[in-house]
Structures are given as structure tokens and as C-alpha cells.
Amino acid sequence: MTEIFSRFFSNSSQLMKKSAIREILKLTQRPEMISFAGGLPSPDSFPLDDIKKVTAEILNDDGQAALQYSTTEGDIKLRSLLVERHNREGLHLTTENLIITTGSQQALDLIGKIFINPGDVVFCGLPSYLGGINAFMIYGARMKGIPLDDQGMRPDLLEKSIIKLKNEGNVLKFIYIIPDFQNPAGVTLPLARRQEIIRIAERHDLLIIEDSPYRDVRFEGTPQPLMSALDHSGRVLTLSTFSKILAPGFRLAWVIGHRELIDKIVTAKQSADLCSPAFVQKITAKYIEKGMLDLNLVKTIALYRERRDHMIRCFREYMPEGIKWTEPEGGLFLFVTLPPSMDAAKLLERAIRKNVAFVCGSVFYCNNEGQNTMRMNFSYTGPSDTCEGIRRLAEAIREEMASV
């Protein structure tokens, strides 16, 4: 059947790949399966009663507008509240600097659409978020990975790669970076590196796409400034989302940046979905206005800190020698490194037979490396299932070590 329709598919459609994470999630629907694969927030963090009350208020007080189309830029009240929050962080925004999108994934797709021509070079971390890599590759980007260490992307290797590729005559477009609790590695970029990467972008006239979905989910340590707050030349676009701090089912996110860049995203969004849903935007604006977002976020952070600590304790108890893992200050993930001789894909097959699942780290590498790594989500699974899942995984690792 595919051969019958193949001539109709565009060149860009040939570059599309199904999400490895979403495909794994299909395999983990059995009730006996303990899955650490998805980047799922805990349902225990969802403020159901508050949302019911706010939804009723919106329908009673502003129901007709809530059920109507919104502007492409987004609900003005929601945008104003988000601008206020960012300006308290040291930014100087107006609503012209902010657009609401239907999830951060839409923002990544729109960024790919407006910036990337086939063959353009985009820099990202090794490893980096799979959804970002796929969104850019669909438009023909040539992804160039920059290795991370325990403080995130290495600026020295970034500039070395920029100079080399520029001298070879390539067109370089932007640096894609997740500075806070990076997905999947969990590391955070310190202030000095944020400043240096901005200086590198200025020297070589590149944009920076700062993907910041986990920034507010910090358990400990010192919050670092947004890169957009450090930028004085308008070259940083920052993506944020309500998926990790409210509810992913709302599919609401936002982008801040120079108004000329935001205006181009507005134009691209008009041909994508016209506007994000007015109903959930108005609910979210009311929820923020009542102070409920910050109150619930305190509870969410406490819950996720407890679950991170619990997973780390289980790792320490069950994992054999030679297994390393990150201990992030926030976010949703641990990143695990197996011995060099092990293949996480083979381990996954063995683990699934034991009814436990994870995501192979190699899917986050744009250069096909990372075969001995894996990503583990700690936010979704409850304490008893977490320890049982880690026990099963450790058993699978020991068996795989013996077979290797």
C-alpha cells in the first residue's frame, strides 16, 4: 500500500520519524507494566477541584468568548499575566513579545518552519530533546551535536564546531539548548556558560532557541536566569509550557522574544491552527490571576522532589556496580549510563519481558551515539511501583551484563 501512495508524499514527509518515546508508550499499556519511559507529569499534581471551580466561573462569566475563536497571538489576559511574571524575573517585555502556542511542540515546529532551509545547520546538545531534533529535521536541518558535561553544553566545543562549519561554507541558523534540567541529561547550565554561549551567538550571528519546560520545577540549588534575560541583542527565543506546571492536557505553551520574530511566528501559526483554544486559555488566565498556579506549583515541586529522591534511593539499593546516573536539581528525568559494552536497546527487550520499560538514550543523539544510555522518568510512577520497577530493571541489567 505504501508504494501506491509514495509518489504523493512530499520530500519533507520522507524526513518524518515516529517518536520512539510514543512508540514505546504503546508497548507499556499492559496493567502489569511499570514504565519509566514517558515524560509524564503525575496525575497527583493536577488541581482537579480548582480547575472545576475556575471552569465554572469562566462559563458563567465569560462563556460566549471562551467558546469563540481567539486571536492568533493568544488571549490578552493570559499574555499580560505571563509578561508580568517574566518581567519580575528581570525581562522587559510587552504583550508584543509573547505568543501562546498549542504546546511547546507546536512552537518547535513553527520555529523550524520559519527559520530552516534544507541543509541549514542547527546546533544542539549531545544528547538533546527528541521532539526538537525531529521538528527541525523535518524541515531539512543538518543537526550538529555538541557534547555535554555535568554543566551542560560545552561552549569551547560549540565555538570550535561553529568555526569549522562556517569555514566549510555551511549556512548556520541557531543553537537549540535546554538550559534547565536538560531533557534527557538532567544537567543545568550555569550562569557563566549561559553568558558565554550568548557571546558566541553574537560573534557568529546565530539565534538561540531556549527551550525551558522544566525551569519552574526546581527542587534545590540556585535558580539561574533565563538566557533571554541575559540577551541584549534580541537573538534569544524562549519556549515555556504549562504542561509541566499545570496540566499537559491543556496543550498550552508560550514563546517570548523580539517582536519581529514573534510576528513571524504569528504568521506561521495562522496557517497551522489559526489560534490555540480560547477556552483553556481563559481558564488558565483565571487560575493564574487567583494565585492558584503558584500554590499548586509548591505542592508539585514537593511531590517530584520526593519521587526523585525515592528513585535515587532505589538505584543505590538495587543497581550493580558500573551503572551511573545523574541526580538533577529539578525536572522529571534521570539519565543513566551503562557500561560501554552494553546496548540499551537489547536491554530494553529483556526489561520489557520483565514488565519494566525505559527510553533508550540513543534516540536523543543526533549522531547515532549513546547506545549505552537510557532515560528514566521519576515524576509519574508511585513509590511502590518505582522500587519494584528498579528492582526488575537491575535484574535485567545483571542478566545482560552476564550475556555480554
Domain 17-39+294-403 has CATH 3.90.1150.10: yes
Q: How many CB atoms lie under 10 A from the CB of residue 305?
A: 17
**Residue partners of 205: CB distance under 8 A and separation at least 6:** none
Query: Given 3-state DSSP classes, what are the helix, strand and coil percentages for the chain, each rounded to the nearest 5?
Result: 50, 15, 35
Full DSSP string of 163-223: HHHHHTT--EEEEEE--SS-TTT-----HHHHHHHHHHHHHTT-EEEEE-SSTT-B-SSPP
Helix (H, G, I), strand (E, B) or coil at 70: coil
The CATH code for residues 49-290 is 3.40.640.10
Q: Where in the chain is the domain with CATH 3.90.1150.10?
A: 17-39+294-403
Q: Where in the chain is the domain with CATH 3.40.640.10?
A: 49-290
Q: How many CB atoms lie under 10 A from the CB of residue 61?
A: 11
Q: What is the pLDDT along the chain (404 residues), one digit of tens a residue?
A: 457 888 788 887 777 766 666 566 666 567 889 999 988 999 999 999 999 999 999 999 999 999 999 999 999 999 999 999 999 999 999 999 999 999 999 999 999 999 999 999 999 999 999 999 999 999 999 999 999 999 999 999 999 999 999 999 999 999 999 999 999 999 999 999 999 999 999 999 999 999 999 999 999 999 999 999 999 999 999 999 999 999 999 999 999 999 999 999 999 999 999 999 999 999 999 999 999 999 999 999 999 999 999 999 999 999 999 999 999 999 999 999 999 999 999 999 999 999 999 999 999 999 999 999 999 999 999 999 999 999 999 999 999 999 87
**Residue partners of 175: CB distance under 8 A and separation at least 6:** 122, 123, 124, 158, 197, 200, 201, 206, 207, 208, 209
Do residues 303 and 42 lie in contact, with contact meaning Cβ atoms separated by under 8 Å?
yes
Measured distance CA(192)–CA(182) in Å, rounded: 17
Q: Which three cell numbers stand for residue 237?
A: 527565543
Which sign, positive or negative, has the C-alpha torsion 320, 325, 329, 331?
A: negative
Q: Which three cell numbers stand for residue 398?
A: 545483571
